Chain A
Amino acid sequence: MFNNQLLSRILDIGEQMLISGAEISRVEDSISRMCIAYQVKRVDVLTITSVIQVSVHLENGEVFTQSRRIRAYATNLNKLDKLNKLSRNICSSLPDLEYIDKELEEINKEQPYSQYAHYLIYALVAGSFTIFFGGNMADGLASAMIGMLLKFLVNAAQKVDKNLLMINIFCSFAVGAVAIFAVQWGFGNNLEKILIGNIMLMIPGLALTTSIRDMISGDTISGLLRFSEAILLATSIALGFGLAEILFGGRLV
């Protein structure tokens, strides 16, 4: 009853969960629950931020092993919710392959908010954080405009280069430069507050917190990987802003 095709579907679900933003422990837990539901003898799952690997031992002595390499994340919590429901459904009703395929296809159609909405969201977040950290209304407005520019730059950069570090250096440099000019021309008063609003959109603060959470709860490898990723990204952003500061003479720090 359990075979390689089924294991492949189960791993697909796990992979999509990890990409959509599930915790490591949730991915491992869901995969082993789904396998165990099909009455296998033993399941070994290893999940770290970039790889999922599963070995399944059957009662008749057969062993299946498969793995998935995860290269990029796209947080999509609505999709995660649906995947979670599907995995519970599989555990309780043991459906056939066609059913799982159909459901997965349906879930993979799940789209994030539209690009236009994303421009507004970037403006909203950047503006809110500028005011949150003590900027005035003019700063908030400037920050919101620069937030939209940031979204545009991120989109453009992603088309040219997939390397996240380079994208971050480029975007933070451009945002830093524009913010410096904006303040020099009297559009907004506090450069630092305008920058911090946009920084909150780029900086991996949440990844840093998650990495420590992983480490404390026992997923040390994943925690360390995510931690070093977060520090690298933060450094690249600081580099970009630092470069803008040196070239265009705004005063930071």
Chain B
Amino acid sequence: MMSIIQIFTAFLAALGFAMLYNVRGIKLLYAAIGGLLSWSVNLLAGYWLHHEAFQFFIAAFSVTIYAEICARINKTPTTTFLPASIIPLVPGGALYYSMQYAVNSMLDEFLSRSLYTASLAIAIAAGILLASSIWKVWLTALNFLESGLKRYK
């Protein structure tokens, strides 16, 4: 039940952020579904992995591929969808708690929280980068095949 509530609120939060970033029209829906997708993948990955950073990596990877596909369909840059879709994963809470410990001069908690925050941020960034590189390779291969076919005809 908790997961369903989370997935639904992830959808709403991504929708809100897409509007804050001034995404318009039907693209809003794509971005919001991206938010739903990123959290669902994260939860699903959690069933078989018990490593939070790796779960976030997989979720960021999938949602980037999703954003690339949406960008292809709508003929817009990937940036239209990615920032809002990735929002449920973004470690804002963890970042806040690290700083809260720092302000209260609780050094041990601060260090462990910061490392945890950094590991999540790195996992997400790595997921995005790997997905966009793989997508580029795929597009190049596609172009290559198409031009080959044209020459054949």
Contacts and interface: CB of A to CB of B under 8 A. Distances in A.
A230 B91 CA distance: 12
B135 to A, nearest CB: 14
B99 A237 contact: yes
Interface stretch (A18-26, A61-69, A90-98): A18-26
B104 interface: yes
Nearest to A131: B9
Given A128-B13, A200-B92, A203-B96, A75 B124 contact: no
Contact of B21 (A21, A231, A235): A21
B72 to A, nearest CB: 14
Which of A132, A134, A253 has the most C-beta atoms of chain B within 10 angstroms of its own C-beta?
A: A132
A21 B129 contact: no
B22 A212 contact: no
A121 B20 contact: yes
B54 to A, nearest CB: 16
Contact of A80 (B6, B9, B15, B79): B79
B129 A77 contact: no
A208 interface: yes
Contact of B77 (A81, A128, A213, A235): A81
Nearest to A217: B129
A76 B24 CA distance: 10
Given A21-B79, A84-B77, A199-B93, A78 B22 contact: yes
B100 to A, nearest CB: 5
Name A's interface SS: helix
Contacts of A21: 21, 79, 83
A206 B95 CA distance: 11
Interface string A75-115: 11111110010000000000000000000000000101100
Contacts of A122: 16
A97 to B, nearest CB: 25
B59 interface: no
A134 B103 CA distance: 25
A137 B13 CA distance: 15
Contact of B92 (A76, A81, A124, A203): A203
A170 interface: no
Contact of B5 (A23, A26, A131, A199): A131
Interface in A199-239: 199-200, 203-206, 208-210, 212-213, 216-217, 230-231, 234-235, 237-239
A239 B104 CA distance: 9
Contact of B86 (A77, A118, A206): A206
Given A80-B80, A132-B9, A117 B19 contact: yes
Interface string A183-199: 00000000000001001
A131 B7 CA distance: 11
A212 B125 contact: yes
A205 B91 contact: yes
Contacts of B129: 213, 216-217
Given A23-B79, A132-B10, 6 more contacts: A79-B22, A84-B77, A200-B13, A203-B96, A208-B117, A235-B99
Interface of B: 2, 5-6, 9-10, 12-13, 15-17, 19-24, 76-77, 79-80, 83, 86-88, 90-93, 95-104, 117, 121-122, 124-126, 128-129
The 9 closest A-B pairs by CB, nearest first: A205-B92, A238-B99, A125-B16, A205-B90, A128-B12, A212-B125, A132-B9, A128-B13, A213-B125
18 contacts: A26-B79, A81-B76, A81-B77, A81-B80, A117-B19, A121-B19, A124-B12, A128-B13, A131-B9, A132-B9, A208-B91, A208-B95, A212-B121, A237-B96, A237-B99, A238-B100, A242-B103, A253-B97
